[in-house]
Structure 1
């Protein structure tokens, strides 16, 4: 019987608050892409407001190698325009949309299960 928890090399979202997200002990105050894929590092997502989103932002996510993308839409739930999602749909990549706090929690659960997941977290300035 195994008594210790499994170790994971995945990035973990440790905490979040208004205007910041902490990943593996490092605080970020901007929009962020976090991936459970091997060798991944947190990357800045060049979006600071929901109204700035465009198809190119989702193209970046489609090229990540993930099987699922979680979109954290900021402090409240907002859905991306269907046209923005074409790159994901064409590659057969699923997308879930939720507010940023829920996206952080969901990412951690799926990453701990070994899923190939990427979360794009919108931190509005």
Structure 2
């Protein structure tokens, strides 16, 4: 399994690699997960077409709100429903969709820069 190292300047959960169809984060393996600067938690991710802003509520509850949400859309990059984009935009929160592996790597890089972001990462398969 490829391992990603922890940037000593970053804080919070780090995706360290991919294992058994999931993501290795600080000793746990998650099939799908929500990431905040403070924690990682299992996410019962819906199909992308069924995603609503309510599925992202734990991320939107951050204080202050995240700059944007990285959305890992599974094995390929796809866009969430327009209603989700519009609801987040109305709250002043951007969304950056990308495949889930790229989302995991981007999370680590941006948290290493101390960016106040969140991520919702869907399963790899």
Q: What TM-score range do you get, normalising by the shorter chain? A: 0.7 to 0.9
Counterparts of 1:106 and 1:57, CA distance in 2: 21
Normalising to structure 2: TM-score of the pair? 0.80
1:104 aligns with 2:120: no
TM-score by length of 1: 0.80
Alpha-carbon separation, structure 2, partners of 1:117 and 1:49:
22
Separation in 2, partners of 1:51, 1:19 = 21
- Residue 68 of structure 1 is matched in structure 2 by 68
Q: Which residue of 1 aligns with 2:52?
A: 54
Unpaired runs of at least 5, structure 2: 1-6
- Select which of 10, 13, 28 maps to 1:11: 13
What is the aligned-residue RMSD (CA, Å)? 2.1
Distance 1:78 1:63 in 2: 25
Displaced runs of 4 or more, over 3 A: 5-8, 58-61
Write the distance in 2 (CA, Å) between the matches of 1:15 and 1:6. Answer: 17
62-71 or 52-61, which deviates more = 52-61
Q: Of the two, which has the highest radius of gyration? A: 1
> 3-state DSSP class of the match of 2:114?
coil
What are the ranges of 5 or more consecutive residues in structure 1 without an aligned counterpart?
none
Q: What count of residue pairs does the alignment treat as equivalent?
A: 117
